Structures are given as structure tokens and as C-alpha cells.
Structure 1
Amino acid sequence: MTRIATLDVLRGFALCGILPANLVPIAQVPPPPDGVALNLLVDQRFFPIFAFLFGVGFTLFLDGSARRHPRPRLLLVRRLAALAVLGALHHLGQPGEALLPYAVCGLVVLLPASYLPRAVALAAGLAATAASLAVTQGGIGLIPGMFLLGLAASRYGLPYRLDSLGRPLAVAFALFLAAAVPAVAWQWSEVELTGFSLSGAVAGLLMAGAYVTGLALLMRTRLAPGLEAVFAPLGRLALTNYLGATLLVLGAARLAGLATWGHVLGLAALVLAVQWLFSVLWLRSFPAGPLEWCWRRVTWWGRPLTHRPASEVRG
């Protein structure tokens, strides 16, 4: 399956944003007293992006595997079952982790929805998202809606048409940004309830939309090579880096406390720097990350990932 650079960049960008949000619960320390910026710029902003991208990736994988396997949905059942096992293990270190809910929701929601017409999937995604905001104030309840919206986006061919969607992306970015400003002001007015409020969930979704469309626009400019160099390695090893961050944070938390927002940002920057360097070096020799390879191996029962000389690896 041909890689789409913008999707890799979005995954890497989302990974950078979700790590600071997860740092405090992973390390099991009280939230920093000066962490308002975390609430307004990070919390509930990147989780929807990951869920949306999972729906996109699910559909791209299904469509691609259908050209090579007579039973592509069987592959997806294996893929989701393996993800559930990883999520269950990851839950031991991070009780709020997302992989297990993703796997369950993928089996219960995405697999059946893959038979739906794209317009129906889009309507179902919008309805599920609205219902989540009304009933659960976002959080894990957003997963079905974001999954369905990602599925619908793929069915409409949006991932492959990003290079030709300059004006629609600009309009979408402007609308998301215009709506996010009053939503963030609303959240600010009750910031002490962040994580448990409708205002935080609404602001998070709108800012997530602004982040995605804004970054997709920047990928159409001269900044694209730089953005790809910074974020794509992290995004290509998203599963390895997501799980690896928990181990790194648990180890670092034993050595240093997270008493301030500065400590949170500092540790997040250190972890991401280590992961970026590892990702770049790994991709010089291998086409996929170690856990990505394991996941693919279980999915396809295929041949193991082999070492490739650096001269044969693009980038």
C-alpha cells in the first residue's frame, strides 16, 4: 500500500500532542498546578485525531488487502485481535490507554460499518459524535463517531486527494478556527472542569479539526519537506512509539518528579527526541517499526521483516 505522507505527518504530530496529555496519568502524579495551557491546547485535542486516523487507516488497509487476499475482513479480525492483546498488556502500565477500546470498537463498529454506503457511514459518524458530546462529554465515547468519520473520509477518497483540495481545506480550516475561538473561551470559563465538561469536549473537537486541516494545508507549501522530516518518522512508527513512550515515562518518573508544567514539557520533549532519533535510524534499515512488523506478521502470517542496506531505503 502506497504511503500517504500527510497521514504520516498527522500521526506524528498527534503523537507529539498526546504524549504531554498522557504523561501525568502514566506517571501517576498530581496534575501540575500551572498546567492551564495543557488543558486549553492539548487535552482532548489529539485523541480525536488519532481516532479519526485509525478509521482512515482501517479503511485504507481493508481496500488494499482486498486486492491481495480473498477474505480481507478476516485479516482485519486478526489485526484487531492482536491490537486488543497489545492494548490489554499496555493497560497494565497506562490504565487510560486507547488501544484496547480501539480494537473492541473496530470489531463492533468499523467492521459492520465497512459494508455501509459512504453517505450512510458519514451520517452515522456525525450522529455518533453528536450523541457522544451530549451523553458522555466526549472522551472515550468519541471513538465510534471518529472511527466512522475516518471511514467515510476514506470512502470519499479524501486521503488521496489532499494535493488537490487546497480551497476546501482552507475553508474548512477557517471554519474550524472561527468556531474554536469561542469554544475555547467557553472552556476557559470553566477550566476547572476540563476533562469532565461539554465545553472541553467541543473545544477539543474543533481545535482537532483546525490542527488537521491546518497541517494538511501546510503540507501543500514549501514547509512540507521540513514537516515530513520532523513528524513522519514518528508517525510511521506510531504504534511502537505510543507503547514505548509509556515505558520511557514510567522509567523517567522514578528518577524525577513532574511538579510543574515545565517538567511535563521537558520530559515530553526528551522522550520525543529519543523516539524521533530511534525512528529515523530504524527506518534507514527497515520499512516498518518493530511492533508494526509484529502486527503485520500476525495479520498476514507473512514473512518476517528483513534488514535492508541503507542504500536501498528511500529517505
Structure 2
Amino acid sequence: MKRIQEIDALRGFALFGIILTHMYQGYLASSVPAEYFGYNLMYPIDNVSRWIVRNLFSGKFYAIFSMLFGLSFYLILDRKQNSSPLKFAWRLVLLFVIGYMNHVFYRGDFLVVYAIFGFVLLLARPLPSKYILPIGLFLALNGPNIIIQGLNLLEFPLQLNWYIPMGPSPAQANNTYFDLILHGDLKSVMVSNGTIGIINKFNYLVHSGRFWVVPGLFLLGLWIGRQKYHERLDQLKWGNIILISASIGIPMVFIHFHFYTADHSPFVRFIAFIAQELSNIFMPLLYIGLIFPFFNWNFTQKLLKFLVPVGRMGLSTYVIQSLFGIIIFYGYGLGLFLKISATLAILLGVAVFAIQTIFSVWWFKRFKYGPLEWLWRSGTNLKWQAMKK
């Protein structure tokens, strides 16, 4: 039970970082038009908040959440010889439905992405672990995009041109979506997200490299499960994990921060790009290495146990975070997008997460599953599950 609690706590920790990142962004799922650059930098401290979120949060906490999804696949299906792949596929279909419903309100939803790339885990299930690790690392490090950019530096043009040409240019689409977030009504936002928003999501996945990174992280989570690291957490050499991940991750953060600017040559920017991808793997490992040993200390153990319930209902927590975000920032809600600073937005994220933590503790004193977890489980089993304890 303790080991499961630790995994749930880590999921809760990842959700904490995710909501702070999204709150900083104002739950905007696109680039900011040029005239609005720095829209949330209202006070000097906001520059500190921006640096922290961009370098220590963005891309880091979703990596933890994604690896845990791959680990969950192992726990649900991969370790059981007689388990049904079809049932897991049906589970992914249901996740897509839940994710699409969330996407209609919030275009940045990643449950839809998880549902689609979850099928990669089914395809990888027959592969031996010795292949899972290198493939997972190559994809998680955005290997295909690194190769393509490297070839472009050698003037061997190979463009990853999978964009779906539809409607206006990407810049025009971003401006239209930005205006919709500021001034659009609920129906207009839902229609846009449910139609052109899907195309924009696919194009973002390709452009950002998450088309490769997400399935790569899933495979790394699967590999971790096969190595049964989650069953022998007390035996792992956390000091070495922290030292190695910090020695690589922290320098990579600063290399990307200082050199991925227009002031440097394409080659230097390419090196900084690789540094960013490395930091997005080793910084999450550092965070994991820092949080797990705290379970052995009496004081921090009590604090971390508050993360267990909120991580246990990870699906519900994530969707509810999205609802909070769009109500706070979007024009048809409180409309605070251009009215509050980055630091205040982050503090609001802390408050929302605190509310979710209190709610989840209250909820699990009465019920067996989180609200959406119960619905997901019932749909998977095609039978209403007992809810109350």
C-alpha cells in the first residue's frame, strides 16, 4: 500500500506543477500575438516567476505525469499474462471521449493525446525490455526532431512537414483564437475547439516534438515498471540519482536559457535545443529523486501524504483544474487573462490546488474512486461500480 501511495503522491506532485504552469500561461493553448508579448509581466517579481516556470516547470512536470501513465499501463496490463489488450484499448477509447469533452472547453487538454498515443504501448507490449529503453529514450529526447534539425544545419533540407493545411496561416489562427479567448462566448469557444482546434493540436504536437516525446515517455514508464523499480523504492540509491540528474539537468537548463536566443548562431541554438530536451528528462528525474526520500522522514511524510488523494484521482484533478482555469481567465468567465500578473496567477494556482487537495481528502473518506475515475472504470467494465465505501 505504501508503494502505491508514493506513486499517487508523485502523480499529485506532477499535477501541482502542471496547474502552476498552465496558470502562468493563463490557460492559453497557443502562442501569444506579438503585441501582447510580456502581457503578464506587470511587476519586477514577474520576471522571476517567468524564469522559474519556463526553465524549471514547463515540460518537466508533464514528463513525470506521462511516465506514470506508462507505468500504469504496466500495472494494469503488461504484468498480467492473461489480461485483455482489447479491454485496455476500450479504456483508451473512453479516455479519448473524456478528453475530447475537456478539449471542447480547453484546447490545451492532453487527455486526448494520451488516449491516442496510449495505443503505442499496446504495440510495444510484445517487445523485450532491452528494446523498450533505447526506443523510449530516443523518442523522449525528441530524437527525430534533433536529427532533422541537425541535417538542416548541414544544408541537407529535410522538413517535417506533416502540418494539416486548413484555414488561415498559423499566425492568423493564433490571433483568431487569442481574440476568442478574450472576447468569445462559451458556444463560440466550444465550436472552435471542437473543430479547428483538433487540427491545431495535431500541428502543435508535430511542431513542438511532443508527437515523439509523449510516446517516448510512455515507453520509459513501461520500462520502469518492467524493472519493478516501483516495488523496491527503498532499495534505490537516491543519492546517486539526485547527483547524476542534477549534474546533467541543471547545466542543461542554463545552457538552453543563455544560448537559445536570436543573438546566437543556428549551430549554438541547435546545441541549446538539445540541452532543453536533456533538461526535460533529467530535471524530472531530479524532482523524483528529491521527493521520494521524503517519505522516510516523519515530518515530510505527513506533508506528502496530502498529495496521495489528489494524485489518486488524477483524471478528475486534471479536468477540474482546466475548469478552474478557463473560468478564471476566459472572457465568458471572470476574464482575468490580461488583468493579473504572472506571479498572482501562480499564487491562484497554489490556492486552487490547495482546494483540490482538501476536496480529495474529504472525497476519499466517503468514496472508493474519484468522480471521473469511477465513470471511467464503470465504462471500462460495462458495469456500474460500487462507489461508496
The question of a shared fold, defined as TM-score above 0.5 by the shorter chain, is answered with yes
Pair 1:71–1:18, CA change in 2 (3 A): same
What do the CA deviations read for 1:73-104 (whole angstroms, capped 9, x no partner)? 12201111111111112212222221111111
Work out whether 1:162 is the aligned partner of 2:162: no
CA distance in 2, matches of 1:52, 1:145: 9
Structure 1 residue 260: Cα displacement = 1.5
Aligned to 1:185: 254
Aligned to 1:273: 354
Aligned to 1:148: 219
CA distance in 2, matches of 1:21, 1:121: 30
Q: Structure 1: which amino acid aligns with 2:17?
A: G
Aligned to 1:203: 279
Pair 1:287–1:137, CA change in 2 (3 A): same
Work out whether 1:32 is the aligned partner of 2:40: yes
> Is this contact kept in 2: 1:44–1:200, CA < 8 A?
no
> Is this contact kept in 1: 2:99–2:109, CA < 8 A?
yes
> Is this contact kept in 1: 2:140–2:281, CA < 8 A?
no
Aligned to 2:109: 97
Higher alpha-carbon Rg: 2
What do the CA deviations read for 1:15-34 (whole angstroms, capped 9, x no partner)? 00011212225257865223
SS in 1 for 2:321: helix
Any unmatched runs of 5+ in structure 1? 309-315
Structure 1 residue 219: Cα displacement = 2.3
Q: Structure 1: which amino acid aligns with 2:87?
A: L
Pair 1:162–1:2, CA change in 2 (3 A): closer
Work out whether 1:217 is the aligned partner of 2:293: yes
Structure 1 residue 172: Cα displacement = 1.5
Q: Structure 1: which amino acid aligns with 2:126?
A: Y
> Is this contact kept in 2: 1:55–1:110, CA < 8 A?
yes
CA distance in 2, matches of 1:59, 1:176: 24
CA distance in 1, matches of 2:362, 2:307: 14
What do the CA deviations read for 1:189-239 (whole angstroms, capped 9, x no partner)? 146689x94443332322111011221222233345324322111101110
CA distance in 2, matches of 1:137, 1:176: 23
TM-score by length of 1: 0.87
Any unmatched runs of 5+ in structure 2? 42-46, 149-206, 263-268
CA distance in 2, matches of 1:217, 1:175: 16
What do the CA deviations read for 1:227-284 (whole angstroms, capped 9, x no partner)? 4322111101110010011111111223234532222112201211221111011000
Structure 1 residue 63: Cα displacement = 4.5
Q: Percent identity?
A: 29
Structure 1 residue 72: Cα displacement = 2.0
CA distance in 1, matches of 2:325, 2:113: 22
SS in 1 for 2:27: helix
CA distance in 1, matches of 2:135, 2:307: 31
Work out whether 1:106 is the aligned partner of 2:187: no
Structure 1 residue 161: Cα displacement = 1.0
What do the CA deviations read for 1:121-177 (whole angstroms, capped 9, x no partner)? 112212222315615665453111111110011011111111222x2x221111001
Q: Structure 2: which amino acid aligns with 1:269?
A: V
> Is this contact kept in 2: 1:234–1:241, CA < 8 A?
yes
CA distance in 2, matches of 1:62, 1:71: 6
Pair 1:105–1:91, CA change in 2 (3 A): same
TM-score by length of 2: 0.71
SS in 1 for 2:353: helix
Pair 1:219–1:191, CA change in 2 (3 A): farther
CA distance in 1, matches of 2:290, 2:2: 23
Work out whether 1:237 is the aligned partner of 2:313: yes
Q: Which moved more, 1:224-233 or 1:47-56?
A: 224-233
